[in-house]
Structure 1
Amino acid sequence: MVWLISLPLHFRIVLIAGIAALLRVLYFTLDGLVSPGIELSFADKDFANYWTAGKLVLSGQTADLFGPHDGYFAHLTAAFGADYPWHNWSYPPHYLFVVAPLGLFDYKLGMMLFLGVTGILYLWSVRRFAGQGNYAIWIAILPFLAHNFWTAQNGYLFAGCGLAALAFRDSRPVLAGVFLGLLTIKPQLGILFPFLLVAERRWLVIISATVTTIALVALSAVVFGIGAWSGYLAEVVPYQSHVMRELRGTFLWMLPSLYGTMRSWDFEADIALSIHLAVALPVMIATISGFFLTRNDEDRSILLLIATFIVTPYALSYDLGLLAPALGLLATRLAAMDRACGLVVMMATLLPSIMIPLGALHATAVVPVLILAVYAIAWRDTGAARRLKAIFRPKAGN
């Protein structure tokens, strides 16, 4: 217990909150696993989409994933009952390479295998990205680990891909590009990666990512048919756009972006997006500038990972596994120098656990404001602000 007492107070708060969240999630998961049949509360997970997709692929009904929503949803109600709540399929055909094997298992076993395998990938990626000796990193990811397990989402998988790409971009650039190619399944999380790679002149990573993406798209067209891609573009993308523009309630509380806050305040989608872009575009420009101004890979990684959740309007709480390690790195730097900023950073690691409660309290604005505050701290800490001032500061004698 000595090591726990020696931690700064805000580290202890996150550690205790994270462990409590994990224990709670594990308790309810175990209860769902041992209950007979599949209770509706246990089936009402995003994993239901992945498992259903696997079943459809193996039964030769892949086309139903990329057709009208009513046809797909009929498979969900057939599997889980007429009272099953609304879910939709939103992924491109190359994601089927990941989820098709899930159709070999029953729902409960498939879920545990999916979360277990992708969880191992995520933990491995965190270790390669930040090293194993930094305890703040492992404390910072606890709330995310619990939240993604509860939602049974793919947050471990895609956060793992993004972190692995950053970790290997210098030592194993081809492998880094492969991970970025996989991240194209959720392209909204990779908006800033091309600018980072250009700033660092990682040409081999760019080539590898491009080849991987083309190969995945081409192979998925061969395996699942051209119709899967045409259906994705004609049916799935427009329907997902409708979801982003019209869906309300808990979904909006899970969006950390300014767009999500504006929509939860009943702003029309176009107005909400305009307000979002008014903040996101300057942050994007500042971040790209920071890629050229900062002097080491870790600084640029921190800026990218934090800025991603300001720039993209469509990330969700279960995508915050990309943000958490950056917060851990930043908090470690600030622990001995700036405790107030360190507290702000570590409180941001709790976002996966508190976003929905904040939404229920009509306090969604806390989320983008907190992320913007963390970004400002990171911008200052990396030294990008000082170097930018130096560029424009008049030279002595002029």
Structure 2
Amino acid sequence: MRGTENQVHSWLTPARIVFYCGGMLALYVVFMGFWFYGSHGFTQSDFTHPGFDFSIFWSASYGLLNGSAAQVYDHAAFDRIQQALFADLSHGSLMPWLYPPTFLVLISPLALLPPLVMYFLFVGTGMLLCTVGTLRVSGLVGSFRGSRFAWLVVAGAPCVFVPVIFGQNALLTAGFAAFALYFMRRHPVRAGICIGLLAIKPQMAILFPLVLIAARAWRTLAAAAISAALFGALSVIVCGTQSVRLFLVNTTIARETLIEHGRSYWLASPTTFATLRESGAPLALAYAAGAAVALVAAAAVWHVWRHTRDTRLRAASFTVATLLANPYVWHYELAWLGIALACLIAIGLDKGWLRGEQSVIALAWLLPIYELFNRTAELPQIGAIVLLLTLLIIVRRTRIDGEGRDERAALAYSHAIQTIR
């Protein structure tokens, strides 16, 4: 059959994958050691410190618990709060608080305990949620024949390491997405609640309505809409109606200063928009090309969800397409890419590798590290190309698997006819 004809020699075996992940963990330790040494124990103010983004979250929690949401959304007031709480950190020119009131409500308990304690709790919760959710939706443990090291493939991946060192929320959103995709078939209401929780970063849920319609998952769609609406209403009650207006004002400032004109963002953003802006393209062309790629990604994920019921292919296409459809994606958001890679690895180990799959997966696996260091290296922005290649191999796998099913059905039908005769 065609699927068999396209299969190639496997150099991504379970043993080698575990070895690569273990080696990467060793490199993380070396990297953190050099960082610690170079910054004199993370005490130098001219060095970015681990958990830098988390210090912003902790400051926002402190501002809400000891004042109001308005002062968190006020750039000058929030700057003073951060400088007072983390005077030893080099914040430089701070951006305004860019998150919606829903996320502010979610992190409001952070300031109840010291920053270091809450950093480990926040990051640990995100890692656990993302790792367990990814293992569930990908079925990677089964593909590793029950190996106890399957978790290492997820937790040890660069797409997890990058949000951990920043203390970012990408592991939480990736975990919500993974569990939503896992629950969708058997527990539609639970899936909808997980999608509703993505109201903390609504741009990451941009394609969920599309795939739910493609899958005719009406109960999940209804549960997602209701849970997101209730979450939003709660955030307005806690933070006040003014917080919504201030959030929109701050996002406009960020778009005009950071997304459209911030080279430091372009170098670390795996998006079509950032690629074109870094290459010198005018603003209108970058937006137009980004919109075109977003439409291609949406069409691809629609195709996959309409032509297969394989949860792994659906999850992989959705997470990659979500990254491609957004104009505002940092390197730490590639935690979502980890879900797709785990699903593709599981499929490859179960069904055999197709030509080019292993190379694309290896390239995508290293992409977060490339993006992390690119703000210093200033190399060409290749993130969008890698994501498009990943989406391409998902669509091809969907097509080949579909052709294989058709051929097997035709053979079974022919055999049945011959038996009757």
Paired with 1:280 and 1:384, the residues of 2 have a C-alpha distance of 24
What letter matches 1:158 in structure 2? T
* Aligned position for 1:250: 264
2:25 to 10, 19, 22: 19
Are 2:125 and 1:117 equivalent residues in the alignment? Answer: yes
Worse-superposed segment, 31-40 or 338-347: 31-40
Worse-superposed segment, 378-387 or 301-310: 378-387
Give percent identity, aligned residues only. Answer: 26
The change in CA–CA distance for 1:181 and 1:8 in structure 2 (over 3 A counts) is closer
* Aligned position for 2:397: 381
The Cα shift of 1:87 comes to 3.1
* Aligned position for 2:371: 355
Paired with 1:169 and 1:34, the residues of 2 have a C-alpha distance of 48
Q: How does 1:42-61 map to 2 (within 5 A)?
A: 42=49, 45-61=52-68
Instruction: Report the secondary structure of 2:190's partner residue.
Output: helix
Structure 2 residues not aligned, in runs of 5+: 1-10, 145-149, 407-421
Decide whether the 8 Å contact of 1:11 with 1:346 is kept in 2.
Answer: no
Structure 1 residues not aligned, in runs of 5+: 391-398
Q: How does 1:248-287 map to 2 (within 5 A)?
A: 248-287=262-301
The change in CA–CA distance for 1:176 and 1:44 in structure 2 (over 3 A counts) is closer
The change in CA–CA distance for 1:201 and 1:208 in structure 2 (over 3 A counts) is same
Decide whether the 8 Å contact of 2:315 with 2:339 is kept in 1.
Answer: no
The Cα shift of 1:100 comes to 0.9
The Cα shift of 1:25 comes to 5.9
Instruction: Report the secondary structure of 1:109's partner residue.
Output: helix
Note the alpha carbon deviations across 1:250-284, whole angstroms, 9 max, x for none: 32222111111112223333321112223221232
Decide whether the 8 Å contact of 1:165 with 1:176 is kept in 2.
Answer: yes
* Aligned position for 1:181: 196
Worse-superposed segment, 362-371 or 85-94: 362-371
Decide whether the 8 Å contact of 1:93 with 1:224 is kept in 2.
Answer: yes
Decide whether the 8 Å contact of 2:137 with 2:181 is kept in 1.
Answer: yes
* Aligned position for 2:138: 130
Are 2:328 and 1:326 equivalent residues in the alignment? Answer: no
The change in CA–CA distance for 1:218 and 1:6 in structure 2 (over 3 A counts) is closer
What letter matches 1:327 in structure 2? L
Paired with 1:43 and 1:343, the residues of 2 have a C-alpha distance of 31
The change in CA–CA distance for 1:284 and 1:14 in structure 2 (over 3 A counts) is farther
The change in CA–CA distance for 1:119 and 1:70 in structure 2 (over 3 A counts) is same
Note the alpha carbon deviations across 1:316-365, whole angstroms, 9 max, x for none: 21111221121222134335333632122122111111113345444334
Q: How does 1:1-398 map to 2 (within 5 A)?
A: 7=13, 11=17, 14-24=20-30, 27=33, 41-42=48-49, 45-67=52-74, 69-81=75-87, 84-88=91-95, 89-131=97-139, 132-135=141-144, 138-139=152-153, 142-233=157-248, 235-334=249-348, 336-338=352-354, 340-358=356-374, 360-383=376-399
Paired with 1:192 and 1:376, the residues of 2 have a C-alpha distance of 18
The Cα shift of 1:50 comes to 0.4
Decide whether the 8 Å contact of 2:273 with 2:289 is kept in 1.
Answer: yes
The change in CA–CA distance for 1:358 and 1:63 in structure 2 (over 3 A counts) is closer
Paired with 1:208 and 1:331, the residues of 2 have a C-alpha distance of 31
Note the alpha carbon deviations across 1:10-37, whole angstroms, 9 max, x for none: 7367425531343246657988999597
Decide whether the 8 Å contact of 2:278 with 2:381 is kept in 1.
Answer: no
> TM-score under structure 2 normalisation?
0.81
Paired with 1:306 and 1:85, the residues of 2 have a C-alpha distance of 33
The Cα shift of 1:206 comes to 1.0
The Cα shift of 1:169 comes to 0.9
The Cα shift of 1:245 comes to 3.4
Decide whether the 8 Å contact of 1:137 with 1:328 is kept in 2.
Answer: no
* Aligned position for 1:396: none
Decide whether the 8 Å contact of 2:54 with 2:167 is kept in 1.
Answer: yes
The change in CA–CA distance for 1:260 and 1:248 in structure 2 (over 3 A counts) is same
Paired with 1:34 and 1:203, the residues of 2 have a C-alpha distance of 55
The change in CA–CA distance for 1:66 and 1:362 in structure 2 (over 3 A counts) is closer
The change in CA–CA distance for 1:31 and 1:358 in structure 2 (over 3 A counts) is closer
Decide whether the 8 Å contact of 2:313 with 2:398 is kept in 1.
Answer: yes
> TM-score under structure 1 normalisation?
0.85
Computed over aligned residues only, the root mean square deviation of the Cα atoms, in angstroms, reads: 3.1
Note the alpha carbon deviations across 1:34-70, whole angstroms, 9 max, x for none: 9597966327711121000110011023211223x23
The change in CA–CA distance for 1:173 and 1:217 in structure 2 (over 3 A counts) is same
Paired with 2:142 and 2:84, the residues of 1 have a C-alpha distance of 48
The change in CA–CA distance for 1:334 and 1:43 in structure 2 (over 3 A counts) is closer
Decide whether the 8 Å contact of 2:236 with 2:244 is kept in 1.
Answer: yes
How many residue pairs end up in the alignment? 382
For the pair shown, which has the larger CA radius of gyration, 1 or 2? 2
The change in CA–CA distance for 1:367 and 1:10 in structure 2 (over 3 A counts) is farther
The change in CA–CA distance for 1:37 and 1:359 in structure 2 (over 3 A counts) is closer
